Chain A
Amino acid sequence: MDFLVTHAPILIVALPLVAAFAIPLISISRGGDRGRNIFSLVIFSLICFLVAILAVNVHTVGIRVYTFGATAAELALPGGYMVPVRIIFEVDGMSMFMGIIITTVTLAALIYSLHFLKGQTGQARFYSLMMLLYAGMIGLAFTGDMFNLFVFLEIASIAGAALAAYRTNMADAVEGGFKYIVISAVSALLVLFAIGILYAQYNVLSIAALAYYMQYTPLDMIALGLLVGALVMKLAGVPLHMWAPDTYTVAPAGTTPMILAASYISMYALYRVTFTMYGGLLNTTAIGWLVIIVGVLSMFVGVMMAVHQTDIKRMMAYHAISQGGYMLLGVGVCLAVITDPVALASYGRDAMNGGIFHIINHVFYKALLFMTAEAIFFRIGTRDTNKMGGLARNMKWTAGFYIIGALAISGIPPFNGFASKLLIYESVLKFSPVLSVIAMFVSLVTLASFAKVFYSAFTGPEMPAYKEVKEVPKSMIIGMSILAVLIIFFGIFPGLIVNTIVAPATNALIDQAAYINAVMGAVP
């Protein structure tokens, strides 16, 4: 048990990598498909177990540092050294928060895909890529140095793009995947360029050491600009959102939620850079307002583009951009008042909690919605809402999950979207009432557009073409119900969730010194 607790950070990244390369081998052996499915599930349950152990550990003892190749895992600074020379994983509240999100979503996606893929070619590669995407995302959440951030970003991008273009017989799928890989390649190279600039000045790559030595010279400002530009492009913030609708629309079932989670991992990297690495050196009021403006633009443009879409997944993809705006709005408000202790205590911290809490809520309900859209596509072979109708007669579970997701995204109690949106509305109202009103207005339009799709797809007279449509297979229902149960649970006990996982994440981002001390503590 001690061994598992000590080495959990590396095992969580290494296991999916090993599994990714073992899966094709198992597929070609005797037993084939069935053996592979069981193997993927077993490995992933093991990973879930390790994540749970690590989460409890981080919650009780605080920041965990894992040093590769050191005599003791906690030994970030070898005796006599001034800077950390080894590769480091640094797991704090925020990393663990992202870890919980992507592990849950990947588990649901994996179970959902078991039946969805039945009878298709290239299944082995599908599961391989899924494990690689998971390894890339979880590595990005745990890594403590800038260069590995680039490497894991690239692993996640390559796996994500290959998954988005998985249905290569469809021209639009390849196009969506290609857009994703181009955007990812460009943004990853910009990140690498920024890392080069930072390394040239400080001769260190560890995030904690960079934060410790940071001088905020003009070159650092250029690096910050490059990093922020690249990561905003990767998380699909307006005005760099053009790839998101295309990629989310075409990605096959189960992987759309994972690619969505990959966008929020980029958001995590953005927070890591701005809060932890540059921290107090920034002009926080200006940066805060910049984040608020990007957030409000994303909210508004995303929802306005979503209203008139007829492709069900494309509509949801634009809503994903719009909901991303809420997260940026909450965090931006906190950033704008971070130097003012009174405002920070009265509403800044709540705004940040709301923004962070919204990440987990949004990933869960949007993943559920994408899965219901894919369930419809799985049964009737079209994503066009004008061609659907009366589906609730035969697909009762799917219709029920759609209602849960749609009410959650519109911020209706007792679902989880309400909890985080209320936190954002309340705290933003104290900062600037206009912003709060815009946020509520966007929520209303969201509800309207989901209601519209619900009526055109699920209600109405039975259509002769869809008389024989059946409910989706069991594994897809189980995958969706995991998320639905979590959505309702989070909606009923928001206080519990905020106190146990969201507040530690917020504190981890605001408390820059703790992150630095965990690695650089021994430096005089």
Chain B
Amino acid sequence: MENIAHNFPFVASALLLGVAFYIVIFRKNLIKLIMGIAMMASGVNLFIVALGYRTGGNAPIYTDVPPGPMVLSVPQALTLTSIVINVAVLALMLTMVIHTYRNTGDIDSEKSRKLKG
């Protein structure tokens, strides 16, 4: 039972990734597609943070630290970087959708499509 609780974040991130891939591949609405990518990013971030978690661990700050295990700090740094990058990616995507809407009057990927062949 304890094992399941320990692995819960990994199951959650797998679910998030699965749903996100479904959205990215099958949804036609561009805003929904961006939400899918945001979910995918959350799934990956959750996975990496969960990797560094130690049950009952302390925060990785070296002054006045009580004895016991420390939470790994590298995955947290990675996640922070990845969150910042994803904010930039999502913002850029949203501006592009706004431009698509202005140019074609639609945000459905089938109807706003100009490039074919």
Contact = CB atoms under 8 A, between A and B. Distances in A.
B92 A162 contact: yes
A185 B39 CA distance: 12
A185 B93 contact: yes
Nearest to B97: A178
Nearest to B17: A193
Contacts of A174: 96, 99-100, 103
Contacts of B114: 171-172, 175
Contacts of A184: 89
A157 B82 CA distance: 14
A245 B81 CA distance: 31
Interface in A123-167: 147, 150-151, 154, 157-158, 161-162, 165
Interface in B23-43: 24, 30, 33, 37, 40-41
Interface in B76-111: 78, 81-82, 85-86, 88-89, 92-93, 96-97, 99-100, 103-104
A314 B117 contact: yes
Contact of A250 (B51, B92, B115): B115
Contacts of B81: 147, 151
Given A177-B96, A192-B48, A196-B48, A182 B33 contact: yes
A165 B103 CA distance: 13
A165 B100 CA distance: 10
A234 to B, nearest CB: 14
B47 A196 contact: yes
Interface residues of A, number: 40
Contact of A189 (B33, B44, B51, B97): B44
Interface in A183-221: 184-186, 188-189, 192-193, 195-196, 199-200, 205
A178 B93 contact: yes
Contacts of A168: 99, 103
Given A174-B99, A174-B103, A186-B24, A181 B115 contact: no
Interface in A326-380: none
Nearest to B117: A309
Contacts of A158: 85, 88-89, 92
B32 to A, nearest CB: 12
B6 interface: no
A174 B103 CA distance: 9
B26 to A, nearest CB: 14
B115 A249 contact: yes
A186 B34 CA distance: 11
Contacts of A314: 117
A483 B1 CA distance: 65
A125 B97 CA distance: 19
A147 B78 contact: yes
Given A158-B88, A186-B40, A189-B41, A246 B96 contact: no
A196 B37 contact: no
Given A165-B99, A182-B33, A171 B89 contact: no
Contact of B24 (A147, A176, A181, A182): A182
Contacts of B51: 196, 199-200
Contacts of A195: 78
Contact of A171 (B78, B88, B104): B104
A456 B100 CA distance: 33
A383 B115 CA distance: 13
* Most B CB within 10 A of own CB, among A161, A169, A185, A249: A185
A523 interface: no
A488 B113 CA distance: 40
Contacts of A176: 115
Contact of A193 (B47, B75, B100): B47
Contacts of A193: 17, 44, 47
Given A181-B96, A182-B37, 12 more contacts: A151-B85, A165-B99, A170-B103, A174-B100, A178-B30, A178-B93, A178-B100, A182-B24, A182-B33, A184-B89, A185-B37, A249-B115
Interface of B: 17, 24, 30, 33, 37, 40-41, 44, 47-48, 51, 74-75, 78, 81-82, 85-86, 88-89, 92-93, 96-97, 99-100, 103-104, 112-115, 117
Interface of A: 147, 150-151, 154, 157-158, 161-162, 165, 168-172, 174-178, 181-182, 184-186, 188-189, 192-193, 195-196, 199-200, 205, 245-246, 249-250, 305, 309, 314
